[in-house]
Amino acid sequence: MSGATTSPARPTIGVLAVQGDVREHLAALGEAGARAVTVRRPSELEAVDALVIPGGESTTMDKLVRAFELYEPLRKRIADGMPAYGSCAGMIMLADRIADARPDQQTLGGIDMTVRRNAFGRQVDSFEEDIHFTGLASTVRAVFIRAPWVEETGDGVEVLARVEEGPAAGRIVAVRQGALLATSFHPEVSGDHRVHAEFVEIVRTHQ
């Protein structure tokens, strides 16, 4: 159990602050009705109701959570049911399996899926697209930056969004399993905070 004492209406949600677009996630969570804080230490992790794992570089993030002595505490809290949302590299960190992992790369796990790193190509292949996201009334402007995609999911994983155009049409780019949410894209940079609002609601219902 977390040590957070905030009310269910305004949960405390941490943003893993070892790499990536931390500030943008903090702002989006605040707009979505949460109390957003940074997490760099195990004691800070214990004080939150839920966690966002931002984008970045997944192999570097894996090394950094170990350097900050966060790897085992993160795995334990996720396994114990803490809600978590991962975007881009955060999606990779929440995957049980990586299709093209480096030999020493590990994940935090939690979602029964296989992801492929940099599946859409290099930085120059980054793109934006309007996609339909289950539960949201209108399309989401999805920003993909050296993004992964989901190659396969287990029976307990709900597919929330897929690429709709181009050679990657049909590829899975958003999933949910219980209190865990993951997207290939970066909703924190689009100005549309509905995905964050969905996560905040997940946190509220799991408190």
Q: Is the pLDDT of residue 6 over 70?
A: no
Tokens found for residue 175: 């999933």
How many CB atoms sit inside 10 A of residue 155's CB? 6
Tokens found for residue 206: 């799991």
Residue 191, class by beta-carbon neighbours within 10 Å (0-12 exposed, 13-18 middle, 19+ buried)?
A: exposed
Residue 186 is among the residues annotated as catalytic for this protein: yes
Residue 193 is among the residues annotated as catalytic for this protein: no
Q: Identify the CA nearest to 29 among candidates 201, 184, 181, 145.
A: 201
Of 59 and 136, the one with more pLDDT: 136
The one catalytic residue in 24, 25, 129, 186 is 186
Q: Is the pLDDT of residue 59 over 90?
A: no
Q: Using an 8 Å Cβ cutoff, are 132 and 166 in contact?
A: no
The tens digit of pLDDT for each residue in 62-102 reads 999 999 999 999 999 999 999 999 999 999 999 999 997 77
Structural domains for the chain: 12-205 (3.40.50.880)
Residue 88 is among the residues annotated as catalytic for this protein: yes
The tens digit of pLDDT for each residue in 162-195 reads 999 888 899 999 999 999 999 999 999 988 999 9
The one catalytic residue in 129, 188, 196, 198 is 188
Q: Is the dihedral of CA 74, 14, 175, 62 positive or negative?
A: negative
The tens digit of pLDDT for each residue in 18-53 reads 988 899 999 999 999 999 999 999 999 999 999 999
